Amino acid sequence: MSAPLVVSGLRKHFGRLHVLEGVDLALDAGKVTAVVGPNAAGKSTLIKCILGLVRPSGGAIEVLGERVGSDPHYRRFIGYMPQAARFPDNLTGEEVLALLARLRGGEVRHDGVLREALGLTAETLARPVRTLSGGTRQKLSAIVALRHEAPVVILDEPTAGLDPLTSSHLKELVRQRATSGAAVLLTSHVMAEVEELADALVYLVDGRVRFRGSLDELRLRTGQRRVEHAIAHLMREVA
Amino acid sequence: MNAARMVLGYSLSNLRRNWWVLGYGLLFLFLTDALFRFGGGGPRVAASLMNVVLIVIPLVSVVFGTLYFSNSREFIELLLAQPVSRPSLFTGLYFGLALPLALAFGAGVAIPAVLHGGAGLLRPTIMLLLSGVLLTFVFTSVAFLAGVRFEDRAKGLGFALLVWFCCTVLYDGVILLVAMAFRDYPLEPVLLGLTVLNPVDLARVLLLLTLDAAALMGYTGAVFGRFFGTPLGIAAAGAALLMWTGLPFVAGLRGFNRKDF
């Protein structure tokens, strides 16, 4: 079976600034792939190119065989959780969820399970977004990303701002989505989280892929048992 | 365009609970009511409101619109990550802001006008409402253009305020300068053309003519009256105001379609 998300030779230049330089990547179904790298490595730009928020300068992206272009249709295959969740202040949580469900054609599979797992009650969701804490907005954002059973799930620093209990529940939900067949792309600066969740890892520096493989391959190549030390080893190698 | 309707619906829900929009409507309501109570007859009220409409509506639309767009940036990114086309989203967001602002102004002026005014005030009130609504749409388009073009909120706001300043203050100064420098030449057709190039001036001329105050503008008023006073002239002025709405909207939409978020 071909990978649900394939990125080949992806380039993005902002004027003279070359942010992505021929990135090749394939996300396997049923696996969590972590994209890690130092600041300004091109992780956010890579995600934005996949979502169509940034127009690539070259290369190609395919989601379930559909080439990413100006037609937004392919995005129904992607569940996305941004790093910072911002919603219209005066809408309630329930209204935000309803809008985003309607924009995707109304199909919602795991709403109830997710609400329960993340501790979002009907009372909380009936309040205007401006009265919700950053963590609660992050939970709302997680529901938006995970409830559609999208074959590709993109999570940008998903546990940032969450308390340890919710963070642990969210990681469990992400693992469940992967087990049920989704290809998950994860970015995180918390290496313990990467070690806990990821099956494969892509190390990006200056817009180029410097390592791509499973966590075991990473350990073998660097001679380090812990992912954090292995990444530090890679960073020293590149520098 | 189904997605545009959905975004429009939710923008309306969001903004009808916004205190600034409610306050904007109440400002016009109390002002119009006070003018009717203490400002004399109907035409005087319309003339006093004209200056408020010509200055306040462009300013509020452009400032509120630019801030609204820039504050919605992260949510726009989330919406663009859904199966929604960029033109649909831009159109939904634009009307989702312009309509509540226009409705707040319209209700604020129309309610006291209906309560206090007579049949004689119908035409100036309709023209005042029409001009105010069109200026709202024009300057919301400018605000969205600023929001699309400038990533930095301060720069976007600066651009929007510059456009407002040029249209409401600077342009009149330039016209006065031209009129003074070339006073020995027949300038009326040129001034007529220059008026069409500024939406605020266009609305001002239309309102003055509706209020029968063209005499205040002397010979130029008579020239304007001859052109804009006719049905063809009014249609041309309306078309020019619509064009002023369309131009920044299309420029903003083109920028939005090509933008890297």
Q: What is the overall mean pLDDT for chain A?
A: 92
- pLDDT, average across residues A165-193: 93
pLDDT at position B49 is 87
For residues A192, A196, A201 and A207, what is the CA-based torsion angle, rounded to 10 degrees?
A: -40
Instruction: Give the single-character DSSP code of A61.
Output: E
pLDDT at position A202 is 95
Strand pairing category for A183-187 and A58-63:
unpaired
- For residue range B10-56, what is the model confidence (pLDDT) as tens digits? 888 888 888 999 999 999 999 999 988 887 666 778 788 888 899 99
Q: Does A104 touch chain B (CB under 8 A)?
A: yes
> What residues have CB less than 8 Å from B196, skipping those under 6 apart?
B202, B236, B237, B240
pLDDT at position B237 is 79
- Please report how the helices B73-80 and B86-116 are oriented relative to each other, as an axis angle in degrees rounded to 10: 130
- B17, B78, B85 member nearest A90 (Cβ): B17
Count of structural domains within chain B: 1
Mutate which: B13, B75, B85, B261, vs A, most A CBs within 10 A: B75
Sign of CA dihedral B206, B210, B216, B222: positive
Q: What is the overall mean pLDDT for chain B?
A: 87
pLDDT at position B221 is 60
**8 Å CB contact of A72 and B13:** no
pLDDT at position A14 is 92
Please state which of the ranges A42-56, A116-130, B129-143, B165-179 shows the lowest mean pLDDT.
B165-179
Domains of chain A: 30-38+73-201+210-238 (3.40.50.300)
CB distance A139 to A103 below 8 Å: no
pLDDT at position B232 is 77
- For residue range B182-240, what is the model confidence (pLDDT) as tens digits? 888 887 778 778 888 889 988 888 887 777 665 555 555 666 667 766 777 777 777 88
pLDDT at position A17 is 92
Calpha distance A123→A120 (Å, rounded): 8
Calpha distance A60→B99 (Å, rounded): 40
Q: Does A85 touch chain B (CB under 8 A)?
A: yes
pLDDT at position B183 is 81
Give the chain B residue whose CA is nearest to the CA of A70: B85
pLDDT at position B192 is 77
CB distance B66 to B155 below 8 Å: no
pLDDT at position B201 is 86
- For residue range A13-29, what is the model confidence (pLDDT) as tens digits? 998 999 999 999 999 99
Contacts of B10 in chain A (CB under 8 A): 88, 91, 95, 99
Contacts of A99 in chain B (CB under 8 A): 6-7, 10
B1 pLDDT exceeds 70? Answer: no
Strands (E), chain A: 5-14, 17-27, 32-36, 58-63, 66-67, 78-81, 152-156, 183-187, 200-205, 208-214
- A14, A55, A99 member nearest B6 (Cβ): A99
Q: Does A48 touch chain B (CB under 8 A)?
A: yes
Phi-psi region of A18 (alpha: psi -120 to 50; beta: other; left: phi over 0): beta
Amino acid making up residue A103: L
- pLDDT, average across residues A112-130: 91
DSSP, residue by residue, A177-213? HHHTT-EEEEE-S-HHHHHHH-SEEEEEETTEEEEEE
CB distance B214 to B106 below 8 Å: no
> What residues have CB less than 8 Å from A75, skipping those under 6 apart?
A51, A52, B81, B82, B83, B84
Instruction: Give the ipTM of the model, two decimals please.
Output: 0.90
Higher pLDDT: A218 or B189? It is: A218
Can you give the residue range of the structural domain that contains B156? 2-258
Q: Does A163 touch chain B (CB under 8 A)?
A: no
Chains A, B: CB contacts within 8 A come to 82
pLDDT at position B259 is 94
Q: Does A126 touch chain B (CB under 8 A)?
A: no
